[in-house]
Chains A and B, each alone.
Chain A
Amino acid sequence: MNKLFALFLLVLGCSEKESSDTGDHHHHHHGGDDTAIEDGNFTTEATTEGSTWTLQYASDPDPIVLSENFALNLNVSNAEGPASDAALTFDATMPAHEHGMNTEASVTSNGNGSFTVTGMQFHMTGHWRLHANVSSDGQAEEYAWFDVICCD
């Protein structure tokens, strides 16, 4: 039973990758009734819920190492290009365990929509969700998320 289901997930997993390659990255549905995964976004790009901003990230190091601090380099853009007036807050949790990180992350703006988040750490293996809130002077805060499986 589990094996059959795993096979099903394997197939799903591949279609997920293909869709991410085409840039269709928002609100993937993996099926099943797992609220932590069903809206999972395992790509490195996301659009905020109000569709104002698009975020793209890369981790340093890549891949992320269990229980070692890592940084994220994020680029935030809007319809016009790099969102130079955007402000960003960032956090991560394990949705299934209802807990966050053991560290406090810091966000630094590098200007022109570029941000560096330092002091991130995944201290348990499994599904982590990265939470980003973007705002700007003329615009209400909007939320986007990324999902990561820690760690190979």
Chain B
Amino acid sequence: MVRCDLLRLTPLLLLGCTSKSSPTDGVNDTGVPPSATMDFSATEIQMLRTMWPLPDVTPDPTNMYAEDPWAVHLGQYLFFDEGLSSSGDVSCATCHDPSQGWSDGLKLGEGVSQVHRHSMPLFNTANNRWFFWDGRCDTQWCQAIQPIEDVAEMDSNRLRMAHYLANDESLSRAYRETFGSLPDMSSWPTDGRPVLNDPDHPDTVAWMSMTPEAQHEANIVFTNVGKAMAAFQRKIVSRDSAYDRFAEALLVEGKATDDHMSESAIRGLKLFIGEAKCHFCHAGPSFTNREFANIGLGERDWLSGGDQGRLTGIIRLLEDPFRGDGLYSDAAESSIEKLAHLSTSGEQQGQFKVPSLRSVALTAPFMHGGHFDTLEQVVRHYGEVNEYPEFGHREDLLLDVSLDDQQVEDVVTFLEALTGAPLAASLESQPESPLFTP
């Protein structure tokens, strides 16, 4: 354990040399010895400064409609629109239900049929670098359109979707007011998409019967729909939690107080940034490093197995025409560096997204396969690490963590304090019309 303590203290080496005075230096200058819970060390203060405040949503230069109110409104309408699915009864909100923390409360998603992974909650996803559990998209609009064509999710295709917009008077007008005119689709097949690795699929055959120009026009409609949905999802932000109020009191006013978080939650925070080492991956104000990790999750009865996570995610990403550096991006140059150095070494095998923990308590069950029903089980997993991953190399860091029952409870209580203020109710259902009224 000495080894680990040293590691954690190493930031002090740097801190000690900067001679910066901080507004919280006065925390312990009251003459009254603070309780152990309320006493924050310089190292802890330094760490918390990297974890608060939550900045505004990250700009997305690849989506020129990201802040466009017409796109936000149309995106919200389409997010809740079951007409986008082949069965007519599945929308994005089926698996990303606002009343279930923008997930669905199920171990595995249920679209037109069962999905092979757990539905990701959508809080603060606009800050992501990568999308899906395996990061197979690098932009939010690339993510938003894949479920439309996934056979287990909405089981539709981009041509059917385009005809659906064109044949609905309000939708086609809303599209036109946001993006400009829809193309002439009179010669397009009813259904069609390029089905990966299946040249004989009827949808592929139909797609290949189109001219490249028509395919390009269809892809523009498809990605514009994704950009509208992404613009809406940028509004799904968890902030103003009890933790935020606690951190503000501590870091701005220099006063640790249990007015906002219980003593148990405060102990949990200290464990989170200390002994439990959660912050190594759940870093920053969004509580994620926005990358991937193999946390050694074992098999489950309800999982079919064979999921290699990030490794296959990168391979799919590199084949995807809707990447941030591609033809349909509004700022291809902004994504070149991010995509240029992706590695497909063994390190990526069995890795899955490190999700944001903002409002995590609203989003059970947890992990990419719905492995755990409760946060207590999640925290115990990190304390015990008694499973072995199906693929790849488990993060060694996890083996150093050991937590007793009280510590598990404290970390869970802290995680519950990350639940943000409720979103505006107007964001949580389908608007009456896709048409935006300024």
Contact = CB atoms under 8 A, between A and B. Distances in A.
Interface residues of B, number: 44
Given A13-B12, A99-B347, A69 B341 contact: yes
B16 A14 contact: yes
B342 A37 contact: no
Interface in B26-70: 41-43, 46, 49-50
Main secondary structure, interface of B, reads helix
Contact of A102 (B16, B343, B393): B343
A115 to B, nearest CB: 16
A82 interface: no
A124 interface: yes
A42 B152 CA distance: 51
Contacts of A17: 17
B341 A3 contact: no
Contacts of B13: 9-10, 12-13, 16, 30, 42, 149
Task: Give the contact-size bracket for chain A.
Answer: 35 or more
A9 B16 contact: yes
Nearest to B314: A102
Given A17-B17, A99-B347, A119-B341, A66 B283 contact: yes
Interface of B: 2-7, 9-17, 41-43, 46, 49-50, 129, 279-281, 283-284, 289-292, 337-338, 340-343, 345, 347-348, 393, 395-397
22 contacts: A6-B41, A9-B6, A9-B9, A13-B12, A13-B16, A32-B2, A33-B2, A33-B3, A37-B7, A66-B284, A102-B347, A103-B342, A104-B343, A105-B341, A118-B337, A123-B289, A123-B291, A124-B280, A124-B291, A126-B7, A126-B280, A152-B49
Interface of A: 2-3, 5-6, 9-14, 16-17, 30, 32-37, 42, 66-67, 69, 96-106, 118-119, 121, 123-127, 149, 151-152
